[in-house]
């Protein structure tokens, strides 16, 4: 099986070719992961856009993207750049281009990087109808692509501008879907068509992204892209992101599941955490994620060979396990993963519901209550694995203290699968976080990386914080004591959010919402919050809230209903990909959406 990273159990960063963006920023190679964001202002408003760019730079953004839907906005990019440089702000600017190659030619003269979308750079807007292309017609379309892209490459060569080829699952072209369907293979081919033109033209200042609101799709697409690029000798840097991630806890966790699953394997040179919030709020979680994987190369050796793998990392499937009954609930056997936590908050089990035992006690028969067996990779000896095969009813709890936690827990699953052990597994990790945001991001990155590959019949998140207090006794001698300073975080809600973000267990409404940009013509953040408040109690229902039509119709394929901006204060409602009502004033759109949902649900 072809690899997307050198070793699944030994952390190393993917070696991309470094490129310079702007006067000082290096992306790729051995450079640290770069954090970026995007403005939400109208780019034609120079003063507002310049102020927001500077706020983002002050917050820690190392690149800032602005939308350029037309010539006016593209021309204003020069003025915005001059305005921020007057204030000694030199953060590289990126122009976001859709539908209009001519606008890209203008913007490329003024910014450090231009993002183009292969789904709509030269192809017309997707109709989502199956179109037939003969080989000759398909080749003619590729030639048209080459001509348009070559024109942009020539401008970028002259002005030393970088191109990001930004593929979005929600905006693949009809041409690509006619050959590959709405698939990750289609996403990869969409990128490769553009990359081959760049290489043929001797242009290597390229970055690629493969975004989706579905974390499984996003991770699978990046993995497949890395394999394809390796096959063709390409080492371009990668931009990671989960598009339309949402807001609040949900947005952060969904982003961390997708981005973290890739960073855990050393993939990714720059990241954006897209939130339906003020763009400044994106910087801190992105930096926390990037920093979480710093220094991971130095970890305890994991003595497991990753060839051959007993699972397919390019096609999702759950690890097959035995169904085991415990306190009236089923663990394993294809059932959704259980949550260990606070039963009053909805957890399936609480820690007091089961005694923990060791592999040694279990094999000796010394645990009369037949508790859950806590074990590490070191415990998975040939003797213990043989014993487990004879006792498929016993539940395992996998733990690790390795810095490369994902690698070691993954190695445990591989060992179990190679030996045909089908016991259900609950994965557990103990954190020591005082910050809820850090805990959310770290736990989502860790557990999400495993759930994406179908590993785990349950998750158990623990957070313990102890503080050391120095004092004096009655004789004036120094005394050191420890006290429990664990914050009261809702770990059960966090667990369910991670399972939902990884598509492992759906327990609430899924709100897919974009972060907004200069194209957004209605109050997106307010709308996303209102939709979540009103419809958050429909488990399994998916609603997409989109600021404009760039990805809107495509993301409808993954949603039951869509609420998409279509004009100044106007909204178009979708059911799946089909338009139900166009250009409704935003004031009444929520009520109409509720009528549609109630009508469907009866």
Q: Give the annotated binding-site residues.
A: 514, 517, 548, 555
Phi, psi of 527 (to 5 degrees): -65, -45
What the block records as the tokens of 449 is 């990386």
Given a contact cutoff of 8 angstroms between Cβ atoms, the answer to whether 441 and 285 are in contact is yes
Candidates 114, 117, 104; CA nearest to 171 is 117
Candidates 531, 523, 511, 514; CA nearest to 591 is 531
- C-alpha 261/C-alpha 505 separation (Å) is 17
Phi, psi of 352 (to 5 degrees): -75, -5
- Contacts with 114 (C-beta within 8 Å, 6 or more apart), sequence order: 94, 95, 97, 104, 107, 108, 152, 156, 161, 162, 163, 164
> Where would I find the H helices in 426-584?
436-451, 491-501, 524-535, 552-555
Query: How far, CA to CA in Å, does 519 sit from each of 38, 246, 467?
Result: 12, 17, 48
Residues across the chain: 602
**Collapsed DSSP state (helix, strand, coil) of residue 135:** helix
Given a contact cutoff of 8 angstroms between Cβ atoms, the answer to whether 105 and 147 are in contact is no
Residue carrying the six token digits 């780019």 = 43
> Where would I find the H helices in 182-329?
184-200, 215-231, 248-263, 283-292
CB neighbourhood size of 164 (10 A): 24
Sign of CA dihedral 344, 348, 351, 355: positive
Residue carrying the six token digits 């539940």 = 395
- C-alpha 370/C-alpha 130 separation (Å) is 56
Element (H, E) at 409: helix 405-418
Torsion-angle region of 475 (φ positive above 0: left; ψ -120 to 50: alpha; else: beta):
alpha
Candidates 356, 322, 310, 330; CA nearest to 462 is 356
Rounded to 10 degrees, what is the CA torsion of 191, 193, 194, 196? 120
**Collapsed DSSP state (helix, strand, coil) of residue 52:** helix
Q: Is the peptide bond before 163 cis (omega within 30 degrees of 0)?
A: no
What the block records as the tokens of 343 is 């039963």
Binding-site residues for [4Fe-4S] cluster, in ranges, read: 514, 517, 548, 555
**Collapsed DSSP state (helix, strand, coil) of residue 2:** coil
What the block records as the tokens of 270 is 């720059």
Half-sphere exposure of 23 (CA within 13 A, CB side): 5
What the block records as the tokens of 140 is 């003619």
Instruction: Enter the DSSP assignment of 562.
Output: E
End-to-end CA distance of the chain: 48
Given a contact cutoff of 8 angstroms between Cβ atoms, the answer to whether 514 and 279 are in contact is no
């Amino acid at each position: 099986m072809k690899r997307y990273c050198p070793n699944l159990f030994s952390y190393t960063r993917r070696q991309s070719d470094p490129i310079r963006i702007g006067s000082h920023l290096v992306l790729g190679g051995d450079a640290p992961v770069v954090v970026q964001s995007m403005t939400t202002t109208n780019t034609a408003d120079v003063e507002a856009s310049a102020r927001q760019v500077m706020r983002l730079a002050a917050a820690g953004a190392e690149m800032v993207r602005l939308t350029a839907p037309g010539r006016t906005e593209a021309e204003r990019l020069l003025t915005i750049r001059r305005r921020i440089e007057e204030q000694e702000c030199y953060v590289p600017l990126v122009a976001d281009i859709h539908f209009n190659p001519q606008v890209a030619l203008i913007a490329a003269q003024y910014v450090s990087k231009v993002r183009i979308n292969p789904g709509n750079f030269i192809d017309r807007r997707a109709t989502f109808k199956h179109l037939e292309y003969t080989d000759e017609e398909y080749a003619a379309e590729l030639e048209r692509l080459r001509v348009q892209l070559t024109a942009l490459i020539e401008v970028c060569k002259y002005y030393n501008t970088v191109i990001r080829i930004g593929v979005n699952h929600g905006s693949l072209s009809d041409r690509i879907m006619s050959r590959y369907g709405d698939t990750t293979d289609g996403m990869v081919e969409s990128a490769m068509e553009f990359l081959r033109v760049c290489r043929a033209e001797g242009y290597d200042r390229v970055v690629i992204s493969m975004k989706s609101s579905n974390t499984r799709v996003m991770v699978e697409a990046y993995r497949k892209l890395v394999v394809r690029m390796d096959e063709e000798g390409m080492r371009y840097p990668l931009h990671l992101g989960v598009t339309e991630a949402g807001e609040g806890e949900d947005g952060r966790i969904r982003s961390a599941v997708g981005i973290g699953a890739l960073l855990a394997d050393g993939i990714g040179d720059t990241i954006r955490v897209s939130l339906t919030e003020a763009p400044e709020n994106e910087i801190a979680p992105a930096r926390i994620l990037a920093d979480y994987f710093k220094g991971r190369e130095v970890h305890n050796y994991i003595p497991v060979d990753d060839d051959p793998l007993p699972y397919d990392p390019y096609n999702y499937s759950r690890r097959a396990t035995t169904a085991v009954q415990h306190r009236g609930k089923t663990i394993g056997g294809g059932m959704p993963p259980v949550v260990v936590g606070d039963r009053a908050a909805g957890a399936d089990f609480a820690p007091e519901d089961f005694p923990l035992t060791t592999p040694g006690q279990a094999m000796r028969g010394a645990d009369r209550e037949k508790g859950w067996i806590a074990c590490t990779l070191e415990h998975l000896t040939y003797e213990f694995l043989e014993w487990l095969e004879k006792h498929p009813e016993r539940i395992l709890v996998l733990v690790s203290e390795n810095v490369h936690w994902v690698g070691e827990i993954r190695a445990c699953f591989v060992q179990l699968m190679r030996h045909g052990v089908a016991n259900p597994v609950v994965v557990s990790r103990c954190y020591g976080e005082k910050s809820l945001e850090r805990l959310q991001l770290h736990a989502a990155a860790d557990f999400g990386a495993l759930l994406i590959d179908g590993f785990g019949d349950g998750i158990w998140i623990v957070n313990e914080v102890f503080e050391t207090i120095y004092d004096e006794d009655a004789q004036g001698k120094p005394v050191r004591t420890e006290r429990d300073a664990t914050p009261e975080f809702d770990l059960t809600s966090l667990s369910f959010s991670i399972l939902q973000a990884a598509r492992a267990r759906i327990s609430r409404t899924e709100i897919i919402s974009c972060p907004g940009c200069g194209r957004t013509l209605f109050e997106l953040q307010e709308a996303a919050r209102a939709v979540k408040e009103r419809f958050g109690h429909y488990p399994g229902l998916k609603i997409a809230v989109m600021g404009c039509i760039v990805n809107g119709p495509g993301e409808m394929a993954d949603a039951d209903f869509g609420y998409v901006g279509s004009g100044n204060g106007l909204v178009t409602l979708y059911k799946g990909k089909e338009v139900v009502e166009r250009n409704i004033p935003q004031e009444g759109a929520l009520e109409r959406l509720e009528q549609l949902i109630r009508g469907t649900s009866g």
